[in-house]
């Protein structure tokens, strides 16, 4: 493969990664902010049950959105690995492993929402527990899903090697690498403080989200720095 072909291939890979990242963001925002946030009332289990029963199809749609998102989260680190393995193959492999480790947790965690559906549809074995206990049971599984989300968030450690690779790449802005590393610690601090104190100390994950979003937009819109990429390609030619 010639230098020009390597540059073109890497540029395409960068844009594919950016597109995947943005689709993942859109699916997550759609499911969590536009659907579940309007249905789940944390301080009112009865209202939550009424909302879910009245909009069950919408709740199911949010679950489908999550499942698609988790599937794309398998593809994203694979594409990023292809993009950045020339920087440091061992670190890129570490990023890939850490990223993929969180996917099974995320998929299994969705079972908590499916348990909510079973309760709402009055499965015989669960209905025997008593309809008056339904709101409390529903909120238990919704809360358990929240715990599972923070557990998966611990494996946002993959952003640390990703940030390092971006910083050292020479064909992506170093500031994006710094933001990704800071985002990694933001996710971790939120998750650890949740498990220690029952709630995050601060919504640092929002800042982490912004860093990832900027990275995704850069990949999709700007791609890679051609001069920096050509230099790296010559080094490994």
| Cα gap 106→28, rounded to integer Å | 12
| pLDDT at res. 140 | 92
Instruction: Say how many domains are in the chain.
Output: 1
In the chain, % helix, strand, coil (3-state, to 5) comes to 85, 0, 15
Question: For every residue of 166-228, which 3-state class applies, written as one string?
Answer: HHHHCCCCHHHHHHHHHHHHHHHHHHHHHHHHCCCCCCHHHHHHHHHHHHHHHHHHHCCCHHH
Domain membership of residue 13 as a residue range = 3-235
User: pLDDT grade, residue 135 (50/70/90)?
Assistant: confident
| pLDDT at res. 165 | 96
33-45: per-residue pLDDT in tens? 899 999 999 888 8
CB 74 within 8 A of CB 103: yes
| Cα gap 222→166, rounded to integer Å | 14
Least confident of 61-75, 85-99, 123-137, 220-234: 123-137
User: pLDDT grade, residue 60 (50/70/90)?
Assistant: very high
């Amino acid at each position: 493969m010639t230098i020009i072909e390597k540059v073109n291939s890497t540029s395409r890979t960068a844009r594919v990664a950016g597109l995947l990242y943005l689709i993942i963001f859109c699916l997550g925002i759609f499911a969590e902010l536009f659907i579940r946030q309007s249905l789940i009332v944390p301080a009112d289990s009865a209202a939550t049950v009424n909302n879910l029963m009245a909009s069950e199809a919408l709740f199911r749609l949010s679950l489908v959105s999550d499942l698609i998102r988790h599937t794309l989260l398998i593809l994203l680190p694979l594409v990023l690995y292809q993009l950045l393995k020339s920087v440091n193959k061992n670190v890129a492999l570490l990023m890939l492993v850490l990223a993929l480790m969180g996917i099974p947790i995320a998929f299994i965690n969705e079972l908590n929402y499916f348990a909510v559906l079973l309760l709402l549809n009055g499965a015989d074995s669960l209905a025997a527990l008593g309809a008056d206990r339904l709101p409390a049971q529903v909120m238990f599984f919704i809360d358990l899903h929240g715990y599972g989300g923070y557990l998966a968030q611990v494996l946002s450690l993959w952003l640390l090697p990703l940030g390092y690779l971006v910083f050292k790449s020479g064909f992506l802005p170093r500031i994006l690498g710094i933001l990704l590393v800071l985002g990694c610690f933001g996710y971790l601090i939120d998750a650890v403080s949740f498990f220690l104190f029952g709630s995050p100390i601060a919504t640092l994950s929002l800042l982490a989200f912004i860093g990832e979003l900027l990275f995704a937009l850069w990949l999709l819109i700007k791609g890679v720095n051609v001069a920096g990429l050509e230099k790296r390609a010559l080094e490994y030619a």
